[in-house]
Structures are given as structure tokens and as C-alpha cells.
Structure 1
Amino acid sequence: MRLVIGGSYQGKRDAACRLFSLKPSDFADGKTCAFEDIFRCRAIFDFHEFIRRFMQPESCLQELSENLAERNPRICIVSNEIGCGVVPIDAQERAWRELTGRICCQLARNADTVVRVTAGIPMVIKGNLK
């Protein structure tokens, strides 16, 4: 599993394509794909939006990292880092940020490679690109 993280509009998907030999057509869209698509696709972008859509019930997300490691171990997940800004007043928005952070921590633990992208520059923070 590969995880690519970073702020909004930092070039994460382009970096994932270059680093992991992916094409735009290899990606499922986290804003619109079906839940089961994550177990079949080569990659997913806007993973944070995937989490937002499937938060309720949370039970389907609690074991997501382990299920992905088992059912789709070569997936590349591209997600915004959403917990580094102003804390939202809305409780649902805070819950989404917290759940996204926790799931991304689990994914990073299970991932072979974790890359953080800032200003289009990928930095490997776990593993290697070989």
C-alpha cells in the first residue's frame, strides 16, 4: 500500500502518477466512487472525501486499513491533510477530521511507502520508491 498526503492543491495526484507509474484513469474519485471500488481500483484520490461520504455508520470504516491491506495491498491512496488548520465549530466537521486523521495514521502504519507532497515536491517519509 502507498499513501500520498499533503495540503490541498499541492500536486499529490500528479506526484503519485509519476512516482508509482499510474495514469489518471487508474484513480477512483473519493467524492463519487462506490464503497467497494476502493477494493478494486489501483488508486484513489480525494480519500478524505471518501471518508466523509461513508462516515455513517462508522463501523464500515473502523477496519478499512486492515481490509485494504488484505484485499487491495497495492493501492495508492491520495488524501488531503485536513487536521492542520483551524478547528471547525461544527461538531460533524470535527468528527470527520478526527476520523480521517485516525484512518490515515492506520494506513501509514500499514503502508510500504508514505509520501508527503508540498508545492509539487514529493518527500518520502516512510519506505522507498523502489
Structure 2
Amino acid sequence: MIFVTGPMFSGKKAYLKKLLTLSEEEFEKQVAYDILEDVGKTTDIEKLVTALREYRAVILPEMGSGVIPMDEKALQLRENCGRLAVRLAEEADTVIRVVCGLPQVLKGKPEDRQ
């Protein structure tokens, strides 16, 4: 699995589309993204990790920088994102952080997983 993370709206999805060279339909089937709602609602990170293992790639935004939320739901989302990111990074063959549209390979080699 490829795990792509980075700040919101930093080019993660565009980078992964270019890397994997999948059709839009294939991308929708093989890549988990737009999962923040599930992350915020879960009480079982391991169950979510198990479900996400089925995908070729997972995109999850970084949520650890900035102001700590006062709202309980926003705080839970931030904490869950952090915990999930740690577990996905452990499970993934390749981990890439995208900032300003530029990839930083943190683990593995992206070309090995295409």
C-alpha cells in the first residue's frame, strides 16, 4: 500500500493520480481518499486500518499542526487522524508526504509500487 499524507489542499490527490497513472474509474476503486468523516466517527482505529488495507493507496491529510480545537468532535477527528496516520505509515510499503505539490518520500520507493 502507498500512504500519502500532507497538509490540506497540498496536491496529494493530483500527485498520486500522476504516480499511479490510473483512469478516473480505477482511481476511485483503488484509492481511499475523502475519508475524514469515517475517521472522525470511528472508535476503533484498528478496524479502519484493516478496511483500508484493501486499497492500493490511501490519502489522509495531516491534522496535527495549528490551533488545538476546542470542539470535542474536531478534537476527536484530529486525534484519530494522528493515530491512523501512524498505523498507516507502519502498514504501508511506501509513505509519501506532499507539500506544495512536491513529494517527500519518507519510506520505500514509489516506483516500486506502481
Tell whether the structures are fold-level matches, with TM greater than 0.5: yes
* Aligned equivalent of 1:101: 82
The Cα of 1:6 is off from its aligned counterpart by 0.7
Q: Is the 8 A contact 1:46 1:80 kept in 2?
A: no
Alignment pair present for 1:47 and 2:35? yes
Q: List gaps (5 residues or longer) in structure 1.
A: 29-40
Alignment pair present for 1:92 and 2:73? yes
**CA 1:68–1:8: 2 relative to 1, 3 Å:** closer
Q: Say how many residue pairs are matched.
A: 111
* Aligned equivalent of 1:35: none
**CA 1:23–1:5: 2 relative to 1, 3 Å:** farther
The Cα of 1:27 is off from its aligned counterpart by 4.1
The Cα of 1:65 is off from its aligned counterpart by 1.6
The Cα of 1:83 is off from its aligned counterpart by 1.5
* Aligned equivalent of 1:4: 4
Give 1:26's aligned amino acid.
E
Q: Deviations over 1:66-101 (max 9, x none)?
A: 4443xx1x5211111112121001122111110111
The Cα of 1:64 is off from its aligned counterpart by 2.3
Q: CA RMSD in A?
A: 1.8
Please report the TM-score for the alignment, with normalisation by the length of structure 2: 0.84
The Cα of 1:21 is off from its aligned counterpart by 2.2
Please report the TM-score for the alignment, with normalisation by the length of structure 1: 0.75
With a CA cutoff of 8 Å and minimum separation of 6, indicate the structure with the bigger relative contact order. 2
Q: Is the 8 A contact 2:17 2:27 kept in 1?
A: no
For residue 63 of structure 1, give the secondary structure of its aligned residue in structure 2. Answer: helix
* Aligned equivalent of 1:63: 47
For residue 63 of structure 2, give the secondary structure of its aligned residue in structure 1. Answer: coil
The Cα of 1:24 is off from its aligned counterpart by 3.1
